[in-house]
Structures are given as structure tokens and as C-alpha cells.
Chain A
Amino acid sequence: MSTLIACTRAELLRLRRWPAVWVTVGAWLALSLMFGYLFNLLAYTSGDTSFANEGSTRTALLAEMMPANVPHVFVQGMPMFGGALLMVLGAIVAGNGYGWGTWKTIYTQGPSRTAVTGGSITALTMFVVGILVVSFAFDLACALAIAAAESQPLVWPSLSAVLEAFGAGFLVLEMWTLAGYLLGTLARGPALSVGLGLVWALVVENLLRGVGTLLGPVEAATAVLPGTAAGSLIGALVGVDQGGDSTPGVLDAISGTQAGWTVLAYVVVLPALALWLVRRRDVA
């Protein structure tokens, strides 16, 4: 256990000094605030509701930006933008170590490869939790500021809604982070893994779901894809507009329970695969 803690501390030290990590985290926060609050606020203040869902009124727009709705705003960007960015993070954390030769250096320091990989994944998980906390705090601060500016009564979100959002958000971001980590390990570099991961998450899964609506067997297969599961998990929390105006990536393809179990399975299987690969592979 002390070895795992030592490896985690070492990985945390290098991650928190890495500008690329903060650029990725900053990009997520910026996108989250932009799509969660800034555009809605612009639509609300300008009176132009074309940005919002069809049929939305200014009152509905304002309600979406209130503190009580923070858990929904907080998670709705995670299946697509959040997941993609965190996948990039996982891929560069695992992949760059091969290009720089740092894994080679670390594997000769004493800890087993299991401990090193465990420490690396634990450190990444701590970053995911940190991102969730900071993201929620930013969203809440925005909502409170808007509520105060619009003289709205302060209604807090329920604790259960906050916990559900944190749980679902953690599962989704962790899954994509670990998917990136596995890709980075497989490709032994960041470029290919980031490229493949983004194409898969942003393009291929959408195409497969499109084909799935026409072909039954393909539809059954798409139900277990990571993007489908992540989108459906968040969709079960925030609801999906049947008119097709939902946030990109938020789906209702499978039930929330099935989606939760599927995402959890990925969270277990992806690091296990990465560890298996790391343990059996020669390091040049």
C-alpha cells in the first residue's frame, strides 16, 4: 500500500506541474460555463431565445440558470465535451511517457509496474474528482450570481440531486479518462491515441447509432458502447427532449440503470486492460 501511495504522490507531483493538464481542465471549465451559462444568459438578456430549446421562454431560460438546476447544468456537457477532453487527458498522461522515455526510467526505480500504473490511475482519478468539485463550484457561483442579479429567490438543489449528479458525472468522466489511458498505453504515444479516441467518441459512435436505427443487430451493439452508456446515464438524470433539442451527447437510448452498470463495467475493465498490457509488454 505504501508503494501505491508513493507512486500516486510521484504522479501527482508531475501532473500538477504539467501545463497540458491545466489547459485541458481549463478548456472543460470554459466550455462548461460557456454552454451552461454564458450563451443562455446572452439569450436571456437579449431576448433572443433561438439558442435555447424550441418553445423556451425567458422564464424557462432563467430557471435553467438558477442554483436549483445546477446539478443538471453541471453534468449535461460531460458525455460529449467533458468526456472527449478527459479522454485526451488520459491519453497524454499514458502516451507521452513512452515518447519521453519516462516510463522506462520509472520502471527501473523499484516499484512494480502494477504499483506504477495503479499510482498513475489513482492520481488521474483524483484529478477527475478535483475537476468535478471545481466545475460544480464554478457552476454554482455562476448560478448564484445570476440569481442575485435577477433578484430571484435562492432555492438550493436537493442533496440527492447533487449526489446523483456527482456520481453520474464521476462515472462518465472517469470512464473516458480511463479509455484515453488505455488508448495511450496501446498506441505508446499521445498523437494516435488522441486522434483515434476523438474520432471514435465524436464521430464513429454517432454514425453507428444512426445505422443502428435502421439495423436491429447494430442497434443492440450500440447499446453497450461507451458513448451511448454515458449519454443515457446523463440523459436519465437531466431528461431528453423528444424534439431533438437536447444537449449533444445526452441520450435516452438505454435505461439509466442499464447505462450506469455499463459505464461502471467500463470503469472496471479499462484499467484492468491497461494494467494487463503494461505488465506483459517489453519497454524499449
Chain B
Amino acid sequence: MHGRAVGGSLGDMNENVVQTHALTKRYGARLAVDRVDLTVRRGEVYGFLGPNGAGKTTTLRMLLGLVRATSGTAHVLGRTAGSPGVTAKVGALIEGPGFYPYLSGRDNLRVMARYRQLPETEVDAALERVDLSDRGDDRFRSYSLGMKQRLGVASALLGAPELVVLDEPTNGLDPAGMADMRSLIVALARGGQTVLLSSHLLDEVEEICDRVGVISRGRLLREAPVQELRGDSRLSVLGSPLDITLAVAMRLGGEDGVRLDGDRVELDLPNAATPALVRALVSAGVDVQEVRRTERSLEDVFFEMTEPRSGAHRQLEETS
């Protein structure tokens, strides 16, 4: 786990809140979603990553019953996705907020609360939660993009749904608003709610998500915890002469765990073994100029997976 600790619901973590099997959506000749097997576990924040047009929103729409799957199955909270009993327990903000422009933010939420058969007292709490109380009586059409987005999130939170699906929730928010939104998402998960977050902001996903699914060209390339996706950190050694540095590294790290990156030697070695490596290098007569740990960011991994025709892409596809 990278960004946060999950509180309260670890015992339920293995229960799948969302499960799809070979979920496919075809629009004529275009395959928008291609045999996606997605799993979201109870209590986690799941990041759904992908470039524009990768199939993220179409997948989310199928999970909410807005769009029919061409083939495959999707279950949400143990029932067929989109059935009324399910959507009542799901809060969603899909591809931008859709509200009545002539109504105030508060009245828009009152309308949605009536559809959900919730007491209207929930409306004030939801507005408070997204920091819109003071502008709740203004008309929706007068809101900034960020305020509209926050109202969309407030609507998704009505009735404390078990699963909250947020499609690019930080769109249009200023930096402070984005930070607030991240805190809110983390707080939701701490309160036991499951969050399925679609985003193209990699640092955001890296910071708050427990697991990540990467989708590209309609195919789910990989689904794994953030840490697993990034892989272990590596040691990067800059020493001379290079051939002796390489030989020592291979002796300690094994042939498979060592690679050359320019004039640097990179090797998979746990932290505890770093002093032994330095001693061995010095004993072998190597002038050690630098030894440091390098970590791949989620961004590195993302681009490796989604860049078309790259070797890393093919490799990850094969292993997923």
C-alpha cells in the first residue's frame, strides 16, 4: 500500500464490490472495451488509469447500467450491474456533472435526494462535505467548473453509498480543491466506502489509490497494487572502471538482476545489502562515485504500458 492505510474494513478487503468478466462494448466496427476483467475490492480506493479514449468512461457507464455491454458480465455489489437495487447503493459522477441549470445547487440535490428517497436533510450535509454550503442557493448555471464538479461529487455522496464511482473528479478544481478532493476520497475509504476513481492524473492516483487498473485501447493491461506495479527499487552504481564494477555487481546481484544503463550499473538488491556491495566494490579497486536507489514512478510504468508498440508494453501485456 502506497498512499494511505485502510482503516476499519481490512477483513472485508477480499470481497469484490465490482467484478467484470470479459466485459466488452462494441460501437459498430469500433471496439471500445475489449474483454475487460476488472475487480474492485470492498473498502479500497481503486484507480482506473488510461489515456483519453482508452475505454475508462465506457467501462464505468456499463457498471452503472447507462450503457449495455455487447458481451461479458458485470456484477456490482453482488448483483447485475445497473439493476435498480444496485444503483441505489452506488454514488456516481460520470463524465462531468449533469444538473438543471436553472435550479440552485441545493435544489438540484433535493431533486436527486427525492429520486433516492432520502430525507432532504442529507442535502445540507452533502453540500457541507464538498464546501459548497455558502453557494448552495446560487443557480447551477452560475457555478464555476470546479463548483459544478464539487456539486457532482456531493450528489454522488448522497445516502452514503457503498460504492462511489468518480470519473475525473478533480477536473476543473484549483490546487487547493484538488487536495481537498483527495482528502475527501481517502476519508470515504476510511469510513468503509469503496471508491472507484477514474483519473489521468498519475500522481493523484499514486497518492491515494490502493490498487490500480491500467486500460489502453479498450484492454485492461494490468491490475495490481500501486507498489507492485511500480516494482522494487533498484540500486544505481556509478564507478570506475566499469568492467570491474559490473563484475562485482553481477557477483552480488546475479546475472539476471543486473543491467547496464549508460555508464551506470543497475541491480536489484535489498537495502540491507548496500553496505556489502560498497565494501566489495572498494575491495576490488573500484572508485565509487555514486550509489543511490532509483524508483520507478507510476508515470514511468503507465507510459511503458500504454505507449504503443514499445517492448515494455508487449512484455506487460504478456505477463498480465
Contacts and interface: CB of A to CB of B under 8 A. Distances in A.
Interface of A: 2-3, 6-7, 9-10, 13-14, 17-20, 100-112, 115-116, 282-284
B107 A108 contact: no
B116 A110 contact: yes
A103 B64 CA distance: 13
B292 interface: no
Contact of A105 (B61, B97, B102, B110): B97
Contact of A283 (B66, B84, B87, B116): B66
Interface residues of B, number: 31
Nearest to A283: B66
Given A107-B65, A109-B87, A112-B84, A6 B98 contact: no
Contact of B88 (A18, A102, A105, A110): A110
Contact of B107 (A3, A13, A110): A13
B66 A108 contact: yes
Interface string B59-84: 00100111110000000000000001
Interface string B79-100: 0000010011111101011111
A283 B90 contact: no
Contact of B64 (A2, A108, A111, A115): A108
A2 B114 CA distance: 11
B254 interface: no
Nearest to B114: A10
B112 A106 contact: yes
A7 B115 contact: yes
B6 interface: no
A2 B116 CA distance: 11
Contacts of A13: 107, 110-111, 114
A282 B66 contact: yes
A108 B87 contact: yes
Given A100-B101, A102-B98, A105-B155, A6 B114 contact: yes
Contacts of A283: 61, 66-67
A14 B99 CA distance: 11
Contacts of B112: 10, 105-106, 109
Contact of A109 (B96, B102, B115): B115
Interface centre among A3, A108, A112 (most CB of B within 10 A): A108
A17 B103 contact: yes
Interface centre among A100, A103, A109 (most CB of B within 10 A): A109
Contacts, number: 91
A105 B66 contact: no
Nearest to A2: B117
B70 to A, nearest CB: 11
Given A100-B98, A108-B65, A283-B66, 11 more contacts: A3-B84, A9-B114, A18-B102, A20-B102, A102-B98, A105-B97, A105-B98, A107-B66, A108-B66, A109-B112, A111-B115
A110 B87 contact: yes
A3 B117 contact: yes
Contacts of A111: 84, 88, 115
B68 A108 contact: no
B67 A104 contact: no
Interface centre among A9, A20, A100 (most CB of B within 10 A): A100
Given A7-B115, A10-B115, A105 B99 contact: yes
A116 B115 contact: yes
B34 to A, nearest CB: 17
Contacts of A103: 98
A110 B115 contact: yes
A18 B101 CA distance: 10
A18 B102 CA distance: 7
B193 to A, nearest CB: 16
A107 B114 contact: no
Contacts of A104: 66, 94, 98
Contact of A14 (B94, B111, B116, B155): B111
A108 B103 contact: no
B92 to A, nearest CB: 4
Contacts of B110: 13
Contacts of B67: 282-284
Nearest to A8: B114
15 contacts: A6-B114, A10-B114, A10-B115, A14-B103, A14-B107, A17-B103, A18-B100, A101-B98, A104-B66, A107-B66, A109-B88, A110-B87, A111-B84, A283-B66, A284-B67
A14 B139 CA distance: 13
Nearest to A6: B117
Interface in B108-140: 110-112, 114-117
Nearest to A105: B98
B145 to A, nearest CB: 14
A284 B61 CA distance: 8
A10 B117 CA distance: 9
Nearest to A96: B100
